[in-house]
Structure 1
């Protein structure tokens, strides 16, 4: 039986008046919430910092406040202009049925959203650190091998007199140290706390390869065939650390679902406006009665101590922050495919 569940809810349409410090803060916070769609922002000062931030986030900048107030899609107006006369103007000009928050009410909304955003960041980091514990065996194996090589070569060098051999073994020691350093660097990068609003152009294919390398510390890839079907130039704007976390989680879950071996397929596809990423396995599949629960916080089918129940919940949150979608298809006993769709950058 095949089950499919797209994750999408109609957003609330919000207009922001004022692009100073308060407007910029609201912009940064609200655009991360999938249940909110910012229809536009306006300010009397064309140099207001929030206007450029809106352009960076591909949020409409409206030159005239009147035009924004008359937007027929707007359901909520947030006034952070600080203008004492704006309240009366809004009462006159805002369409019937549109809610308005201004002054202290807007500040309360900002505080609440800021608090929610901080909690989400803490959940993501806590789940990431909890997962590091499962890397212990893989890390120990990968570090022990080059350390044993270094020890053996160093013992040889203590008695070696041939200069050519000394140079050759010294180079092998250097290479072994570099391999160990790379392992530590990968894990340190993965474990660090993601910087707020860290946005850059991310090469999705490279990030999948990085995630595959890190996931090998967490789960054994014995009898697992890895198939890569990458579209060239699959790049998106986003937070590279958070996207790495998403891919590590999906790959780890996929391998864990294939206890007796199987095929892990990583695929990227480019459409006109989105880059799609698929992580597929040939494992046990997801029972239909669990389909409505797998993205809920603290839900897990793993034994006690083997999972936090935050993995898929955090994945959904990160993807929605990046204005993307995530969906899953699954056949019990055949396998599962998680599909992420993320908006592409606009070609220059």
Structure 2
């Protein structure tokens, strides 16, 4: 079996009210999912597994004192999760995990996780993306109230004001030589 870095997660991982999740695959998509799942109060991440010790998801898990390793069996069998999310996209690994997991553990693959993500409400998706892209809350600085213009210069405020004024009207708009009724910038 592979090496395991065992650290204790601050949240009560053994609480029956929590959904206990094992994340297999700590690449970019695994890191993104880890960011999302960690913010959910009813989810306890019991571990992140990746063969690459430099995977961004593993590094993030280390920062948050979430157990990590390079072999899913150590966490799958020792600390039985309610849900295993295989973010590797490797179908052979998916089959291996399916055979090794407890009958009480649900296994979903990368495509299923992507399907769930893609069916999220657009406002919720925007909020999640902003939390991921601007973890310090700096996303509100320099943005217009509508949330799509980044920048806080006088010219940007002027353009944002013009957009707000003309968007609800059917008139032709001319901004810096561009014209059209669709009001694309």
TM-score grouping bracket, smaller chain normalisation: 0.5 to 0.7
* Secondary structure of 1:90 counterpart: helix
* Whole-Å separation in 2 of the counterparts to 1:114 and 1:61: 31
Q: CA deviation at 1:103?
A: 3.2
**8 A Cα contact 2:49 2:70, kept in partner:** yes
Q: Which runs of 5+ in 2 are unaligned?
A: 1-14, 141-185
Q: Does 1:118 align with 2:139?
A: no
Corresponding position of 2:92:
85
Corresponding position of 2:52:
45
When residues 113 and 11 of structure 1 are mapped into structure 2, their CA distance, relative to the original with a 3 A threshold, is farther
**TM-score, normalising length from structure 2?**
0.57
Corresponding position of 1:76:
83
Corresponding position of 1:63:
70
* Secondary structure of 1:70 counterpart: helix
**8 A Cα contact 2:80 2:105, kept in partner:** no
Equivalenced residues, count: 125
**TM-score, normalising length from structure 1?**
0.32
* Whole-Å separation in 2 of the counterparts to 1:91 and 1:34: 27
Q: CA deviation at 1:97?
A: 0.8
Which of 130, 134, 137 pairs up with 1:196? 134
Q: Structure 1 or 2: larger strand share? A: 1
When residues 112 and 57 of structure 1 are mapped into structure 2, their CA distance, relative to the original with a 3 A threshold, is farther
When residues 26 and 57 of structure 1 are mapped into structure 2, their CA distance, relative to the original with a 3 A threshold, is same
When residues 100 and 121 of structure 1 are mapped into structure 2, their CA distance, relative to the original with a 3 A threshold, is closer
Cα RMSD between the aligned structures?
3.3
When residues 121 and 114 of structure 1 are mapped into structure 2, their CA distance, relative to the original with a 3 A threshold, is same
**8 A Cα contact 1:40 1:60, kept in partner:** yes
**8 A Cα contact 2:25 2:86, kept in partner:** yes
Q: Which runs of 5+ in 1 are unaligned?
A: 1-7, 123-192, 199-238, 243-348
Which of 70, 74, 96 pairs up with 2:103? 96
* Whole-Å separation in 2 of the counterparts to 1:50 and 1:83: 17
Partner deviation per Cα, 1:8-39 (whole Å, 9 max, x = no partner):
99221000000001100100111011111111
When residues 50 and 9 of structure 1 are mapped into structure 2, their CA distance, relative to the original with a 3 A threshold, is same
Partner deviation per Cα, 1:245-299 (whole Å, 9 max, x = no partner):
xxxxxxxxxxxxxxxxxxxxxxxxxxxxxxxxxxxxxxxxxxxxxxxxxxxxxxx
